[in-house]
Amino acid sequence: MRSPVPRFRDVERQAGGQQPAQCLPPCHERQNNMWFIRDACGIVCAIITWFLVFFAEFVVLFLMLIPSKNLSYSLVNGTLFNSLAFLALASHFRAMCTDPGAVPKGNATKEYIESLQLKPGQVVYKCPKCSSIKPDRAHHCSVCKRCIRKMDHHCPWVNNCVGENNQKYFVLFTMYICLISLHTLVMVVFHFLYCFEDDWTKCSSFSPPATVILLILLCFEALLFLIFTSVMFGTQIHSICTDETGIEKLKREDPTWEKTPSWEAIKSAFGGPLSLAWLSPFADLSCQKDASAPVPMFPQGEIIEEDVIEIPLEPSSM
């Protein structure tokens, strides 16, 4: 009786018989073109996200900080708020426009599989939707219309999937929105107390009814986003530490991979050893792969029809 054949893992990394580069995080074939998903719902959600941040910016500056008589209070809180807002929007942009780890389409060809130089008895899987050889832990996204490596979920608020290449930026986005929401709530409370003690006509450049309405709307927005982003931030950190994506937990998939220790998984997700670069949306994920090394080409050919391809066993010698 023949033993079960092993599933081949991360087949794209061994194209042309090359060994995968050792790096943190794993090195992938990166595209120079900007990644952007043309999804109407996602685009609208992304625009709403930016609009809400700019609305908070408007209310904080023109209703609370600029009319304040305390210059140091305005400068400190204005600098902190604008810095967090800038980092949040930069993280959002990077999460939205970074390839999350998409598997190239149409590489499920006989020529490509032969170039992998797999061992007899190994099995590779073809995605029937995008006709690509599917690496282990990759899942197909119906919105992106691609298979995504270590796909956690598709987030309409960033109009992109959250995968192994952009999870850092998504985590930073949720963290900075959480911090800016908490900071806003504190400023709103102090401003309400200031207006109650002083004349409402003097504590804002707007009329008292407009001031109250804008503060209530800002308070509701900050509280809603504080709860939402703090939960998302916690679940993302937990997923990284347990080396199990959200979709793997949802499907209750049995781990077929060797789990990475929590600290190593965090360093892999954030791009290397602990440093200030972890907090920067402008720091790319580090990789030790030589940038001058040629990117392997995928042999072209006809797409195979089978979804499960087993490398035939070598004929036994008589």
- What string of H, E and C letters represents the secondary structure of the chain? CCCCCCECCCHHHHHHHCCCCCCCCCCCCCCCCCCCCCCHHHHHHHHHHHHHHHHHHHHHHHHHHCCCCCHHHHHHHHHHHHHHHHHHHHHHHHHHHCCCCECCCCCCEHHHHHHCCCCCCCEEEECCCCCCECCCCEEEECCCCEEEECCCEEECCCCEEECCCCHHHHHHHHHHHHHHHHHHHHHHHHHHHHHHHCCCCCCCCCCHHHHHHHHHHHHHHHHHHHHHHHHHHHHHHHHHHHCCCHHHHHCCCCCCCCCCCHHHHHHHHHCCCCCHHHHCCCCCCCCCCCCCCCCCCCCCCCECCCCEEECCCCCCCC
Predicted local confidence at residue 4, as pLDDT: 41
Question: What are residue 248's phi and psi, to 5 degrees?
Answer: -70, -35
Q: Alpha-carbon distance 120 to 50, whole Å?
A: 52
pTM for the whole structure: 0.82
- List, for residues 43-81, the tens digit of each pLDDT value: 999 999 999 999 999 999 999 998 888 899 999 999 999
Residues marked active site are found at 155
Cα-to-chain-centroid distance, residue 161:
7
Taking only the tens place, the pLDDT of each residue in 221-232 is 999 999 999 999
pLDDT beyond 90 at 267: yes
Task: Please write the tens of the pLDDT for every residue from 143-179.
Answer: 999 999 999 999 999 999 999 999 999 999 999 999 9
What integer best gives the mean pLDDT of the chain? 81
**pLDDT score recorded for residue 88:** 98
Compute the Cα dihedral for 110, 114, 116, 120 and give only its sign. Answer: positive
User: What number is the average pLDDT over the span 187-191?
Assistant: 91
| pLDDT for position 314 | 59
Please give the residue that has the higher pLDDT: either 120 or 294.
Answer: 120
Tokens 């900075």 belong to which residue?
176
Residue with the larger pLDDT of the pair 28 and 96: 96
Mean pLDDT of 243-268: 86
Say how many C-beta atoms besides its own lie within 10 A of residue 134's C-beta: 23
| Angstrom distance (rounded) from CA 43 to CA 158 | 8
pLDDT-above-70 percentage for the chain = 78
The pLDDT, as a whole number, for residue 311 is: 64
pLDDT of 248 over the 50 cut: yes
pLDDT at 284 over 90: no
Q: Do β-strands 153-155 and 160-162 pair in parallel, antiparallel, or remain unpaired?
A: antiparallel
Q: What is the pLDDT of residue 3?
A: 38
Predicted confidence band at 14 (pLDDT cuts at 50, 70, 90)? very low
Position 251 scores a pLDDT of 82
Place of tokens 């008292």: 208
Supply the pLDDT for residue 291: 39
Query: By the 8 A CB rule, do 190 and 203 touch?
Result: no
Is the predicted pLDDT of residue 184 greater than 90, yes or no? yes
